[in-house]
């Protein structure tokens, strides 16, 4: 599996980081829409969705080819779509409902199994959904890794070093025989979640990890300076693995 070098950019403020993230996303959208007529974007939950707000403002709101976007989640909390914990709801409310992405191109967790709290079935169905999209030539399989290959993933990290719903000390980080797995004892609530597995995450062409605030400074230093093998430290990408930090998150480097 390819291991691209981690690239790091520190921004003076969260606002500048947000602007850069919008520009990075819009540039890749233009590149892939031109190259292959579509753009596959994987979102996470958490603070990152707030930082994406610049995409729903000029110039991007008018220039991005939203109709060509296909949107996925790197992880999802197993709860109803209306639950405030839902990553789908979070992205819908502040981002996706404001841009003209065709509804059929927004691939949420299965509504019924999520409401029923059946994490295992949600993971199985999400993997099935990805496999169907491979057959439809929406998602290619990476020739290098054999896993599905997304164009861009926008990721966040928790203060414990987790990314997606891959938590330190939990076995999901080592799963290789699935594309999507589940957890029922997440240390961060809610306990039931589904998540892409590490080989899928690392098969993406571009991975952008955005980390802000002083509370994250310690874990950023553990990863960058001490090489601590936390889940986020294992992030890679096929073309570029870039970390956007604000000054506060980078303050212990
Ligand atoms: O629980 C989750 O946490 C991570 C990090 O979130 P943040 O609020 O600390 O930025 C997030 O990336 C993931 O998608 C989410 O489910």
Domain assignment present for residue 64? The answer is yes
Domain assignment present for residue 55? The answer is yes
The domain in which residue 121 lies consists of 6-246
Give pLDDT tens digits for 85-107.
999 999 999 999 999 999 999 99
Give pLDDT tens digits for 172-199.
999 999 999 999 999 999 999 999 999 9
Tell me which residue has its CA closest to atom 15 in ligand 1: 45
3-class state of residue 170 by DSSP: coil
Residue 100 vs residues 55, 110, 141: alpha-carbon distances, Å? 12, 22, 27
Domain assignment present for residue 251? The answer is no
Domain count of the chain?
1
Give pLDDT tens digits for 18-48.
999 999 999 999 999 999 999 999 999 999 9
Contacts of 73 by beta carbon, 8 Å cutoff, 6+ apart: 42, 43, 44, 45, 87, 88, 91, 107, 108, 109
Residue 5: band (very low, low, confident or very high) from pLDDT cuts 50, 70, 90: confident
Domain assignment present for residue 1? The answer is no
Domain assignment present for residue 13? The answer is yes
CATH number of the domain bearing residue 142: 3.40.50.1360
Domain assignment present for residue 252? The answer is no
Closest ligand 1 atom number to CA of residue 87: 16
A 10 A CB-CB count for 161 gives 22
CA of 159 to the centre of ligand 1 (A): 9
Tell me if 151 CB under 6 Å of ligand 1: no
Domain assignment present for residue 131? The answer is yes
């Amino acid at each position: 599996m390819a291991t691209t070098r981690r690239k790091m950019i520190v921004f003076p403020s969260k606002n500048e980081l947000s602007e850069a993230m919008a520009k990075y996303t819009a540039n890749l959208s233009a590149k892939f829409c031109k190259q292959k007529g579509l753009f596959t974007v994987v979102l996470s939950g958490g603070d990152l969705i707030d930082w994406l707000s610049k995409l729903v403002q000029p110039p991007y709101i008018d220039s991005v080819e939203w109709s060509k976007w296909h949107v996925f989640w790197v992880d999802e909390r197993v709860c109803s779509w209306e639950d405030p914990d839902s990553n789908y709801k979070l992205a819908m409310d502040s981002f996706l409902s404001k841009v003209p992405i065709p509804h059929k191109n927004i691939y949420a967790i299965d509504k019924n199994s999520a409401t029923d709290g059946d994490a295992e079935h949600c993971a199985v169905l999400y993997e099935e959904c990805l496999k169907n999209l491979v057959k439809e030539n929406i998602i290619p399989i990476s020739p290098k890794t054999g896993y599905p290959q997304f164009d861009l993933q926008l990721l966040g990290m928790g203060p414990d070093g987790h990314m997606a719903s891959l938590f330190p000390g939990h076995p999901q980080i080592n799963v290789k025989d699935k594309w999507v797995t589940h957890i029922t004892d997440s240390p961060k609530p809610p306990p039931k979640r589904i998540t892409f597995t590490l080989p899928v995450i690392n098969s993406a062409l571009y991975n952008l990890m955005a980390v802000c605030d002083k509370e994250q400074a310690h874990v950023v230093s553990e990863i960058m300076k001490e090489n601590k093998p936390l889940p986020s430290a294992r992030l890679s990408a096929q073309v570029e693995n870039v970390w956007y930090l604000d000054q506060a998150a980078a303050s212990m480097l």
